[in-house]
Structure 1
Amino acid sequence: MRQSWSSLLFLHWALPAEAIAPLLPDGLEVDTFDGRSYVGLVPFAMAGVRPEGCPAVPWLSNFLEVNVRTYVHHRGSGPGVWFFSLDAANPVAVALARSLWHLPYHRATMRLDRDGESGAISYESRRLGRPKGVGCSVGYRPIGSPREAEPGSLEHFLVERYLMYVSAGGQLRVGQVHHRPYPVQGAELIHLQEDLVAASGISLPDAAPLAHFASGVTVEIFPLEPVGQSSRPSVLPSPT
């Protein structure tokens, strides 16, 4: 699959690893940074979603998404992402992702608005399925200058992930995601209301989340494989 991701807001809360571990399937372990695990809420826009070699179809290929995620590793395949939920505004894309990729997608009504003067972005999502009405409302403003996250930093740990794990028919599978490193910058939160994380069975701390923004990347997504059997590189080479 080929697609583009843009206007990505990464919100992250630190949690004890023991709060996340019981929610993971057998075979996956919580990935931690300085002893802490993280749960993320990531709203963004998708465009040009299509199989390799096929043209994009505007009404099908472009839509909004928000996901709830955490970070995991598997001894045979390496560090990656585990999705608790993914909400998207396109019902066809939701059905295909559920059947072909075994991802926990939900239909939602969604909206993204930009303020041309202030640079602020507002994002709204409300789920149409069960539990009905859960979602998020977030306003934010990108700040600072974009740059690649430094390897070994918390930023890099949170945003640079090139594997996604899914459970399909009781079997753990992994899919590779290729893209250039994100152009990461800070984000100033204007407002945030959300209950998507709680709907995934996770209680958040009272502390404000870490907030990062990335303008976008072009992405390749490869088919799912049983864990431990993939030989593809995990990241494309940097441009010369």
Structure 2
Amino acid sequence: MIDRMTPSRRPGGANAGTQRWESLLFCHWEIDPETLRPHVPAAMDLDTFQGRAYVGIVPFKMRDIRPSWLPRRLAFNFLETNVRTYVTHNDRPGVYFFSLDASSRLAVIAARIGWALPYYYARMSVDDSDDTSRYQSVRRGGAAEHRVSFRVAEQLGPSAPESLEHFLFERYLLFVEKKGRVFCGQVHHEPYDVWTAEVTEMADQLITAAGLPELGQRPALAHYSPGVDVEVFAIRDTGVMR
């Protein structure tokens, strides 16, 4: 039985840093678990909802980012877009990232060295000038682009436990392979205030750049959250070899 509530509780001790995630657009596509399985490390199990697996793209604003030792006045901001799916490791539910594009070279270098996460530098922009928001990203060298426009629709509020929304959004652990071992990182924040979203335009190359099959240019599900304040805790070795 997978315990989906314990990871949402704040771990003891001091955090390693804080940040704010703002204006998140969660786009999800359903994918055949057998098609997805070869793209996820063997040490991790696919996490499915009623037998269905999902791939997500999440563009958002990273704000007020700082490690715990850095003065607040020196915190920095950037844009990010990640491609993800959902996994379990030792029956703990979390996120597995196929890629993370960021508009900060410093963030890319730090995350690759410190967390072994597949970050890429990209030119990114966001436009919130009217009732339609627009994110755009072009990975360095033009290797992959992503463009999406959307409107916020109906407020759903915090996700109910055991719902699909809770399965997709309330993820507090990430798993990554590093030097042949599985590591786990944890974050803590209040539950997302979730809204439905209407995607009015999308052009994506990030999914296929990750080696996944083409899933279509419009997501099956689109949701929005205005944001959460986040505590980040140090990544830890799970003691499991690949």
Q: TM-score, normalised by structure 1?
A: 0.88
- Number of residue-to-residue matches in the alignment: 223
Specify which of 140, 143, 151 is matched with residue 161 of structure 2.
Answer: 151
Who is 1:114 aligned against? 128
Name the CA shift for 1:56/1:93 in 2 (closer, same or farther; >3 Å): farther
Residue 201 of structure 1 aligns to a residue in which SS?
coil
Percent of pairs with identical residues:
44
Residue 190 of structure 1 aligns to a residue in which SS?
strand
Q: Structure 2, unaligned stretches of length 5 or more?
A: 1-16
AA of the residue aligned to 1:25: P
AA of the residue aligned to 1:104: P
1:72-103 CA distance string (max 9 Å, x none) = 00125x00000000000010111011101111
AA of the residue aligned to 1:63: F
Residue 206 of structure 1 and its aligned partner are, at CA, apart by 4.0
1:31-83 CA distance string (max 9 Å, x none) = 0011111000000000111111422466x62000000000000125x000000
Who is 2:104 aligned against? 90
Who is 1:172 aligned against? 182
Distance 2:165 2:71 in 1: 34
Alignment pair present for 1:215 and 2:230: no
Specify which of 130, 134, 146 is matched with residue 136 of structure 1.
Answer: 146
Q: Structure 1, unaligned stretches of length 5 or more?
A: 230-240
Distance 1:107 1:199 in 2: 14
Specify which of 55, 75, 84 is matched with residue 69 of structure 1.
Answer: 84
Specify which of 115, 124, 131 is matched with residue 101 of structure 1.
Answer: 115
Q: TM-score, normalised by structure 2?
A: 0.88
1:101-152 CA distance string (max 9 Å, x none) = 1110000000000133xx21000000005xx331211000111125001111
Residue 204 of structure 1 aligns to a residue in which SS?
coil
> Structure 1: which 4+ aligned runs deviate by more than 3 Å?
204-208
RMSD over equivalenced CA pairs, Å = 1.7
Residue 20 of structure 1 and its aligned partner are, at CA, apart by 1.4
Name the CA shift for 1:225/1:17 in 2 (closer, same or farther; >3 Å): same
Alignment pair present for 1:9 and 2:25: yes
